[in-house]
Amino acid sequence: MKNKRVWISVVAGVMAAVMILTLIIGILPHDAEAASSGALKQQLDELQAQKDEITGKLDELEKQQSENLSDIEAIIAQKDLIDQQVALLYAEVQNVNDQIAAYDLLIADKQEELDEAEARLAELNEQNKERIRAMEEEGELSYWAVLFQANDFSELLDRMNMIQEIAAADQRRLEEMAQVAQEVERVRQELQAEKDALQLVKEDLLQTQAELDAKNAEADAILAELLVVAGDLDALHDQFEVEEEAFLDQLLQKEEEYKDALAYEESSRQQSIHQSIQESSIQASIQESIEASRDQATSKPSQGGDGGHSSNMDADGIRWITPCTYSYVSSPFGYRWHPVTGEWAMHKGVDLPAPKGTPIYASRSGFVTIATYHYTAGNYVKIDHQDGYSSVYMHMTHFVVEKGEYVNAGQLIGYVGSTGRSKGNHLHFGISYNGTYVNPMDYIG
């Protein structure tokens, strides 16, 4: 968790560097005459290196987001298991409490029976003792008096039998009461033993529940910290998206400044040549060469092909080729609701859904200025058509061209995929003219 905090600090530092870099770009000279093409090219190379470094940091940030999400899911699963165990333990504790309460009632009933039996036994013992004591103290009540009051031998025998039966009955009653008292005591002791055993079970369950509660509290603390980290990572990621978009706009502006500087230097060089050459025939030859170069840059190349795709002529008579086979436009050019900022934002191209692996062709001839991976655009290619126009192709599975390579219109440059910030297989196709994005459908039809 500490490492994640450190990583967030590092990424925050990178974000600050991006903001500072954006400010630096903003104060760089915008006049093509103020900086040479060599200086601007060096600045572009430095910006591209910075961009690659930011892309790597953003890739690592997305990895951290994925790992943090996995940790959150694991903790939630652990909490669910603990919650289920606590619920089961709670039910068991309730069941044990109910059993203990039932045993309390049974023990109370048996104790009441035992008390009654013991009281009755004590009462009978006392009555028997009093009767014997009275018989011994008062002669007329003694056994001997009862016997000697007999009128004849038969009556004597009857009186003896009666006395024996009375004594035997008293003895049986005493024994029965003693047995009842013993049985009640035995049952009461058994119930008490079972209750004590249940009490031990309850204590064990409460101990287990306390341990689970501690684990649950620990899981809550970890989950809370993970959610804070997730919020920090999401905030950084959203901020990076906004900064990255501004950075790309600045980079595009700097590329246009570089082109203007080249054009200015070329114009100065041509003027110097014209001033040093006096012969009109040589001047005409140079002019013819320049015109031929321009015609070649705007004409359809003789090599390559259109890959079986349709083409269209723009207002200047330049032919554009459909970059891939698609059935509809899922997101057109223009303003749309931005998923990060929550505001309307410009969509600087069109999204063309197509199956994964669908070939992508260069819409026009030109030089590949970018062929790399970006965390938002995925694998993408940018082509400079040498007349103020550039085209961009994003979210490829992979590209098959290299930076600096010249490609013909209709030449294969990559395949449709869903890399970068993408929700499905499609090609994001964009066209810019002199640094301003235009609607590609006005060119490819």
Report if residue 167 sits inside a domain.
no
**Do 204 and 110 fall within a single domain?**
yes
- Quick one: pLDDT at residue 368? 96
- Quick one: pLDDT at residue 75? 80
- Quick one: pLDDT at residue 372? 94
212 contacts: CB under 8 Å, gap ≥ 6? 82, 85, 86, 89
- Quick one: pLDDT at residue 358? 95
- Quick one: pLDDT at residue 307? 44
Phi, psi (rounded to 5 degrees) for 405:
-80, 145
**Do 253 and 324 fall within a single domain?**
no
CA atoms within 13 A on the CB side of 274: 10
Cα–Cα distances in angstroms (integers) from residue 314 to residues 231, 299, 411, in the given order? 47, 13, 20
Report if residue 162 sits inside a domain.
no
Distance CA 356, CA 119 (A): 95
**Do 251 and 335 fall within a single domain?**
no
**Do 306 and 243 fall within a single domain?**
no
Contact 62, 419 (CB under 8 A): no
Q: Domain count of the chain?
A: 2
Name which of 8, 401, 389, 443 is nearest 230 in CA terms: 8
**Do 374 and 409 fall within a single domain?**
yes
Residue 375 sits in a domain whose CATH number is 2.70.70.10
**Do 107 and 46 fall within a single domain?**
yes
- Residue in the block written with tokens 């008096």: 145
4-37 pLDDT, tens per residue?
555 555 555 555 555 555 544 444 444 434 567 7
- Quick one: pLDDT at residue 371? 95
Q: Which residues of the chain have pLDDT under 70?
A: 1-35, 131-150, 240-241, 243-244, 247, 267-268, 270-311, 313-316, 337-342
208-220 pLDDT, tens per residue?
778 878 877 887 8
Name which of 358, 369, 363, 371 is nearest 440 in CA terms: 363
Q: Is 184 left (phi over 0), alpha (psi -120 to 50) or beta?
A: alpha
Report if residue 335 sits inside a domain.
yes
Report if residue 284 sits inside a domain.
no
Q: Is 434 left (phi over 0), alpha (psi -120 to 50) or beta?
A: left
pTM: 0.37
**Do 315 and 206 fall within a single domain?**
no
Report if residue 104 sits inside a domain.
yes
Query: Which of residues 249, 279, 309 is at a domain's end?
Result: 279
- Write the secondary structure of 58-105 as one string of H (helix), E (strand) and C (coil): HHHHHHHHHHHHHHHHHHHHHHHHHHHHHHHHHHHHHHHHHHHHHHHH
- Strand-pair partners of 312: 320
Report if residue 151 sits inside a domain.
no
CA 306, 310, 322 angle in degrees (round to 5)?
75
Query: How are beta strands 350-353 and 359-361 bridged, if at all?
Result: unpaired
**Do 338 and 424 fall within a single domain?**
yes
State which residues form the domain around 379.
297-445
**Do 266 and 340 fall within a single domain?**
no
Report if residue 349 sits inside a domain.
yes
- Quick one: pLDDT at residue 7? 55
174-186 pLDDT, tens per residue?
787 778 778 778 8
- Quick one: pLDDT at residue 185? 81
**Do 307 and 364 fall within a single domain?**
yes
Report if residue 164 sits inside a domain.
no
**Do 274 and 301 fall within a single domain?**
no
**Do 88 and 2 fall within a single domain?**
yes
Query: Which of residues 213, 246, 279 is at a domain's end?
Result: 279
Contact 407, 374 (CB under 8 A): no
